Structure 1
Amino acid sequence: MPSGNTTWPSWWFQGPNWPNNGEIDVLEGVYGMNYNLISLHTGNNCTMQQNYSTYFNGTWVDSGNKPYLSCYQYANSTNTTNQGCSVEAPKGTFQDAFNAAGGGVFALQWDRNNYIRVWNFINPNIPDDIKNNSTNPNPDTWGIPSAHIPLGSNCSPSHFNNLSMTFDIAFCGGWASQYVSGGEAACENVLLNDPSQFSEAYWLINYVKVFGKPGDSLGTYYPTCQFAC
């Protein structure tokens, strides 16, 4: 995945009329982090519970030991403003550490009425049904996910609709600049004047596959969308 000073790569899904049809950030972070950040940004009335963390091996992002548990993008309180809700995946799941391990696999399972789950697999811990290019992968055999977001009374499934997929690489900005001594101005100076920092700032994607369950709009357990870069 893209790496280098000032970089801010992400792989995310977003619905129209943002944030009312939701955003799922499967992969995101800025240079200087060694873990992936998995986030939701939604319309109002989507709230998590701290005890949901028993279902995943990441940790809720918090401030002052109080997790951000409202996924509403415009929630306004002491601990959450324009934040959404986020889970820190285990260390080694982002940029240099991920690349040094030889890459891996990121997987999103969106069970429309029940939950959103995200796995971050680093080589050599990729499940066999993924490595073997199975047409019927089974997430229930993949072990504990990095994030597990229940959908229901706490956060209606209607918060996520018509999602489109995006890969991008941003540079600098308020978040990435925090990791550059001197802040935004110094970050922009690196970006404009030090191209040696960006020799690894590119995606190398072997494939993207989308699978559907029997009866849904995607088909019956086979890749209905696939491309490689």
Structure 2
Amino acid sequence: MFGPNWPNNGEIDIIEGVNRQVDNGMSLHTSANCQIPNLASAQLGTLNTGQCDSSFNYNSGCGITAQAGQHTYGSDFNSHGGGVYATEWTSDHIKIWFFPRYAIPHDILRGKPNPNSWSKPQAFFQGSSSCNIDTHFANHNLVFDTTFCGDWAGGVWSSDGVCSEGGTLTCQQFVAGRPEIFRDAFWLVNSVKVYQQKNYPPTDASSPYSNVTTSALNDNISLTSPPPSSTSLKAPGSDAPRSSSWQTSWTTGSSSPTKRAA
């Protein structure tokens, strides 16, 4: 997901990886002054770097690698039938979960997600005085993208001896000369569901979110949602604004999810 005037409105990479990667990478990319703390005990994944500023480290962003062996990406993801990625974006934090096909929470299946009842997320990006979430993230679009070569995949291509065939092929040569390799390089998505935090104390404690957009996908769909920082919500009978938040769940099939894959 990303906002206009990049990187000033931020980027949230929910599913991302390159080449033969097997564990999903999740990252944030922002303008200056966004540093994320390492909350190792509150997440399953491992923080690679807390610096989200896109002008540092060749725009690697602040990244978290999913817990190893959880079938979160690539051929392992495919062979286990895919699963559900869910993202919670609030003024306080951005969290990302992955649920394999056999362990999807019942509240997600019922369309009444309750992130407070779920296990630890794979990624927990905590906002703070070092990174104000509302300042750095706004007006995002949901994007599914497959990029051949590119800055990341192309940049690390030669380090993978299998893909580069011992360094004898560049990424561009491989893509141009091996079209059959990309037979299964597609997204198979059952649904995208967007929920907004209710603007009043929920009577059903298991459902703090109400559905905003549910769409069966086709080849031409474009889904745009307003950000949490753009909506000021008030409880009935109160003049006090309530912060809003968004929770997005993606139900993915057995395709290889990749944003910048070669």
Measured in 1, the distance between the counterparts of 2:170 and 2:78 equals 26
Equivalence for 1:70: 51
Q: Once the 2 structures are TM-superposed, how far is the Cα of residue 135 of structure 1 from its aligned partner?
A: 3.0
Q: Distance in 2 between matches of 1:174 and 1:137?
A: 36
Q: Indicate yes or no: 2:19 matched with 1:42.
A: no
Alpha carbons 1:173, 1:184 under 8 Å: kept = no
Identity of aligned pairs, percent? Answer: 38
Mapping 1:1-229, distance limit 5 Å: 13-50=1-38, 52-61=39-48, 68-75=49-56, 80-91=57-68, 92-111=71-90, 113-130=91-108, 132=109, 134-157=110-133, 158-177=135-154, 178=157, 179=160, 180-181=163-164, 186-215=170-199, 221-229=209-217
Counterpart CA distance in 2 for 1:189 and 1:165 is 31
Q: What CA distance in whole angstroms lies between the structure 1 residues aligned with 2:178 and 2:33?
A: 44
Gapped regions of structure 1 (runs ≥ 5): 1-12, 62-67
Say what the alpha-carbon RMSD is for the aligned residues.
1.9
The answer on whether the counterparts of 2:4 and 2:140 sit within 8 Å (CA) in structure 1 is: yes
Equivalent pair of 2:198/2:210 in contact (CA under 8 Å) = no
The secondary structure found in structure 2 opposite 1:35 is coil
> Is the contact made by 1:101 and 1:123 (CA closer than 8 Å) also made in structure 2?
yes
Aligned residue pairs total 200
Cα drift, residue 183 of structure 1: 5.8
Residue 135 of structure 1 contacts residue 221 of structure 1 at CA under 8 Å; is this kept in 2? Answer: no
Give the 3-state SS of the residue equivalent to 2:170 in structure 1.
helix
Q: In the aligned structure 2, how far is the partner of 1:47 from the partner of 1:149?
A: 10
Select the structure that is richer in strand: 1
Aligned equivalents of 1:183, 1:203: Cα separation in 2: 29
Deviating 4+ runs (over 6 angstroms): none
**What secondary structure does 2:87 align onto?**
strand
Alignment TM-score, normalising by the size of structure 2: 0.72
CA distance in 1, matches of 2:45, 2:144: 22
| Distance in 2 of aligned mates of 1:26 and 1:18 | 17
Cα offset, 1:186, TM superposition? 2.6
Alpha-carbon distance in structure 1 between the residues aligned to 2:96 and 2:37: 17
Structure 2: runs of 5 or more not aligned: 201-207, 218-262
After the TM superposition, which of the residue ranges 99-108 and 189-198 deviates more from structure 2?
Answer: 189-198
How far does residue 226 in structure 1 lie from its aligned partner after superposition? 1.7
